[in-house]
């Protein structure tokens, strides 16, 4: 949520100052909210997506010097403003968030209310993370087996929604389950699987690189046509996440 608020604020300020020339980009990761894509589309900038880890966002700046980096972050709270620091920048990000809060207060609003306004404009996206600890040799084997099962026997339907795409970053393939077409992924290889459902739900599975854990990232979304409907739509999204977790036997 903070990443979305800060990214939108930066994009809006760049637009007001006439700084958007068509060669700008924002940065995100494969496990972060798809709402970043919606923001990029609305402001006619590119959203580059990298693997998990802030070094990949910093690498985007190096790899595309002809483009202007506005800002970017990942789901684990890291954010970077501009191209100077090239790492998680808590100091600048905190100052930026204070500025957003100050402007919101001056307009009789709040960070929370501003976030809901973004949901109304771009869609209500909600994310959730489950981290399962599997210790020891047996735990490592269990994590490997879970990834093998998801990779070799992909689910066809989850929570009543068809799986329409499976991205396998270990095999560098994106398989469209509706057309049976396969495309090559251009990112470096990594033990990550992402399922995309027909209702826009995104489910990502990846073993931790530093701990005996396997992590599941969930992103669900629904339109929010009226701010007054926020609580009702949030309940729908919470139920989606709960049902998916139960159906995948993750609790």
What integer is the mean pLDDT of 112-130?
Answer: 97
What was the pLDDT predicted at 219?
98
What was the pLDDT predicted at 85?
84
What was the pLDDT predicted at 53?
86
Residue 72 CA to residue 74 CA, distance in Å, equals 7
Across the chain, mean pLDDT equals 95
What was the pLDDT predicted at 78?
87
Residue 198 CA to residue 221 CA, distance in Å, equals 11
- Output the six-digit token pair for 137: 């040799």
- Output the six-digit token pair for 183: 């495309």
What was the pLDDT predicted at 89?
86
pTM of the model: 0.93
* Residue 87 sits in the same domain as residue 21: yes
Is the pLDDT assigned to residue 209 strictly greater than 90? no
* Residue 129 sits in the same domain as residue 114: no
* Residue 70 sits in the same domain as residue 133: no
Helix (H, G, I), strand (E, B) or coil at 83: coil
Domains of the chain: total: 2
In this prediction, what percent of the chain has a pLDDT beyond 70? 100
- Output the six-digit token pair for 71: 């800002």
* Residue 31 sits in the same domain as residue 84: yes
The domain spanning residue 224 has which CATH number? 3.30.310
What was the pLDDT predicted at 134?
95
Is the pLDDT assigned to residue 165 strictly greater than 90? yes
Range of the domain at 239: 124-247
Q: 102, 122, 142: which is the final residue of a domain?
A: 122
Is the pLDDT assigned to residue 69 strictly greater than 80? yes
**Contact yes or no for 6/79 (Cβ under 8 A):** yes
* Residue 30 sits in the same domain as residue 137: no
* Residue 152 sits in the same domain as residue 63: no
The domain spanning residue 60 has which CATH number? 3.40.120.10
Q: Which long-range contacts (CB under 8 A, 24 or more apart) does 133-136 make?
A: 133/211, 133/212, 133/213, 134/212, 134/213, 134/214, 135/212, 136/212
Beta strands in 13-160 (DSSP E): 24-29, 46-50, 68-73, 79-81, 124-133, 157-158
* Residue 102 sits in the same domain as residue 128: no
Helix (H, G, I), strand (E, B) or coil at 230: helix
Q: 122, 154, 182: which is the final residue of a domain?
A: 122
């Amino acid at each position: 949520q903070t990443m979305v608020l800060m990214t939108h604020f930066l994009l809006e300020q760049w637009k007001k100052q006439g700084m958007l020339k068509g060669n700008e980009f924002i940065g995100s990761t494969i496990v972060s909210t798809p709402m970043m894509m919606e923001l990029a589309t609305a402001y006619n900038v590119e959203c580059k997506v990298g693997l998990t880890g802030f070094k990949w966002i910093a690498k985007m700046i190096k790899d595309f010097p002809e483009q202007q980096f506005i800002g970017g972050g990942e789901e684990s709270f890291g954010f970077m403003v501009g191209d100077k620091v090239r790492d998680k920048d808590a100091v600048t990000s905190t100052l930026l968030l204070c500025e957003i809060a100050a402007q919101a207060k001056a307009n009789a609003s709040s960070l929370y209310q501003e976030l809901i306004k973004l949901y109304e404009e771009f869609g209500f996206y909600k994310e959730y993370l489950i981290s399962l600890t599997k210790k020891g040799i047996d735990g490592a084997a269990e994590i490997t087996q879970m990834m093998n099962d998801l990779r070799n026997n992909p689910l066809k339907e989850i929570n009543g929604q068809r799986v329409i795409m499976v991205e396998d970053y270990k095999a560098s393939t994106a398989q469209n389950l509706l057309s049976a077409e396969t495309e090559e992924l251009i990112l470096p290889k990594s033990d990550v699987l992402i399922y995309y459902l027909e209702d826009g739900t995104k489910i990502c599975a990846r073993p931790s690189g530093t701990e005996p854990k396997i992590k599941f990232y969930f992103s669900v979304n629904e339109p929010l046509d009226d701010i007054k409907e926020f609580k009702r739509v949030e309940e729908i999204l919470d139920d989606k996440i709960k049902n998916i977790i139960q159906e995948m036997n993750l609790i």
